[in-house]
Chains A and B, each alone.
Chain A
Amino acid sequence: MTPAHHVPFDLLVERAAGALPPAMTMMVDAHLALCAECRAEHALCEAVGGELLDGLEPVPMADDGLDRLFARILQDDEGNEAADAPEPAALPWVDDPVGMRLPPVLRPVWARSREKARWRTLVPGVRCLDLDLPVGPEGSAMLLHIDGGRGIPRHTHRGREFTLVLSGAFNDERGRFAAGDLSITDDSVRHKPVAEPGEMCLVFAVLDAPVRLTGALGIVQRLMGG
């Protein structure tokens, strides 16, 4: 199914140009994996990058540039023969209910992250796994697993929150978000997303500043210095 909520065009351009930080790059790539329409748009952006590269005034390489490269290729080939290809590691996503629902671009970071951190309960019915990705000092990148009928308490954000649905769906004041849909909220949005029952609701969230709970739980969060 085609997603209804897409990556804004400016992010597609920034992704194509290589101007996005790593977590956002991955967010856009995960949406592209699920959205043919944006893939075509992104391909156009990349083609523009290619044409611009073609038009640059060339800067000469060192005289031995090509020779060095051939030497490196030779070395690599010999190294490979000596070492022989190692057995491919087991594919940890095949049998995992979360892993199997991830687009390929997210699998390595998921596999790495769960070695380093555990799924923790955020609020009842909502568990999260911090992703091992570089984010700004106040930012975070995580996978969220939301039980049907449960959700995140009403909250706002100091910065922007990007939430990509990977499977299942959630609803909030703005509508329904299903697999492939990207929700973007900033400090003007106060929302309370609730997962639909049925297919596991799994989302990839990137925040550039922490969430502020605004309901009763928010008072607790503030008391606890959150």
Chain B
Amino acid sequence: MTNSVETAPAIDREQLADWVEAVAARGDRPAFAELFAYLAPRLKAYLIRLGAGPTAAEEVVQDVMLTIWRKAASFDRRQASVTTWTFTIARNRRIDLIRREQRPDLDPEEPALQPSPAPAADRLVDEGRRDERLRDAIRELPPEQAELLQLAFYEGKSHAEIAVLRDIPLGTVKSRMRLAFNRLRRVMEPYQ
């Protein structure tokens, strides 16, 4: 496996959020094109990591970007970064597709699994700084903890699957994951 967790190139987080807000406010196509250029290739990489073929991945990316276009008004930069918001849309879309596979007769009216409830937006935070701190904290995790995050989030593995895959006890997977999040939580505390 290559290095654990790569860090993002320096794109201005505020810029991403501004583009989403421009799409929400006036259906701004140039802003959306910028979002597409930044997000779509990353989404495609994410879906391929999760086992999708390139063509299928491309189709799901189209769905996710369409949702971003349509739901731009529901984005709230105080609650989450654009990449976090995008991640949850892609993840929910994937869960929805898996569910349809299991139940081909699914009612087409069934709404996609709803986005998870957001935390209260009763705090104003320095969003750019918050995201930067989290990114640095992830990069500084010990490799065995960073690898677990990768397996869970990039490859959609359950803790039990990770335990089998890495031949370590389930309890160890859980405790390493806890340690990782304890560090991240400490770093993020001022922003929560």
Contact = CB atoms under 8 A, between A and B. Distances in A.
B29 A43 contact: no
A58 B131 CA distance: 19
B31 interface: no
A49 B184 CA distance: 12
B134 A48 contact: yes
A112 interface: yes
Main secondary structure of the interface of A (DSSP, over half): helix
B137 to A, nearest CB: 9
A69 B68 CA distance: 11
Nearest to B136: A51
Q: Which 3 A-B pairs have the closest CB atoms?
A: A50-B84, A58-B41, A18-B91
Contacts of B118: 39, 43
A22 B99 contact: yes
A35 B44 CA distance: 33
Contacts of A49: 84, 87-88, 91, 153
Given A47-B81, A50-B85, A61 B6 contact: no
Contacts of B131: 47, 51
A50 B83 contact: yes
A47 B8 CA distance: 14
A117 interface: no
Given A13-B159, A56-B45, A69-B66, A51 B181 contact: no
A55 B8 contact: yes
A196 to B, nearest CB: 27
Interface in B152-168: 152-154, 156-159, 161
B95 interface: yes
B116 A14 contact: no
Interface in A126-147: 134
B185 interface: yes
B40 A112 contact: no
Interface residues of A, number: 53
B119 to A, nearest CB: 5
Nearest to A39: B119
Interface of B: 5-8, 29, 33, 36-37, 40-46, 48-49, 54, 57-58, 61-62, 65-66, 69, 79-81, 83-88, 90-92, 94-95, 98-99, 102-103, 107, 110-111, 113-114, 116-120, 131, 134-135, 138, 149-150, 152-154, 156-159, 161, 174, 177-178, 181, 184-185, 188, 192
A198 B126 CA distance: 46
B62 A44 contact: no
Contact of A36 (B40, B119, B135): B119
A51 B134 contact: yes
Nearest to B29: A70
B28 to A, nearest CB: 13
Nearest to A30: B117
B114 A13 contact: no
A49 B135 CA distance: 11
A84 interface: no
A25 B36 contact: no
A94 interface: no
A9 B148 CA distance: 14
Contacts of A32: 116-117
B30 to A, nearest CB: 11
Contacts of B48: 59
A216 interface: no
A52 B135 CA distance: 8
